[in-house]
Amino acid sequence: MKLFSFKKQKQQAVFVFRIEHIFSIRDVGTAVAGIVLNGSAGIGDVVSFGHVPGDTVFSCNIKAIHGKGSLEGGIVPVDRAAPDGPCRYGCSLILDESDSHRFHAGAYLFIQ
């Protein structure tokens, strides 16, 4: 029976977004397209970038969100990215990070 545990447990992320595509937008920042796996995030929220959720490499701010609410397309601006509603088939997050080379497909954005 363990009385004490000294291992640091990772906090469960409240927002997890898997990056699938990265685009650089001059004078705006970086756009990342992908899928919201868990939770929600809104415009102005600070998100962390990492190779796995919970392992922060750097942080940036969400400037805008565009959701794909149907399989046929229909990209619309939204206030929050969540796995349902207008982002259920994917979304793009516009971030204030100007160096798009810092991101890569298969990595994650998350909020803990």
Question: Residue 5: inside a domain, yes or no?
Answer: no
CA 29/CA 23 separation, integer angstroms:
9
Q: Which residues of the chain have pLDDT under 50?
A: 4-9
Question: Residue 100: inside a domain, yes or no?
Answer: yes
Give the pLDDT score at 79: 95
What domain count does the chain have?
1
Question: Residue 105: inside a domain, yes or no?
Answer: yes
Give the pLDDT score at 68: 84
Q: What is the domain extent for residue 92?
A: 15-111
Which stretches does DSSP call E strand in the chain? 15-25, 29-39, 41-42, 46-50, 58-70, 73-78, 80-81, 91-95, 108-111
Provide the whole-model pTM.
Answer: 0.84
Question: Residue 86: inside a domain, yes or no?
Answer: yes
Give the pLDDT score at 12: 56
Give the pLDDT score at 30: 96
For Cα atoms 27, 65, 71, give the angle at the middle one, nearest 5 degrees.
Answer: 120
Question: Residue 1: inside a domain, yes or no?
Answer: no
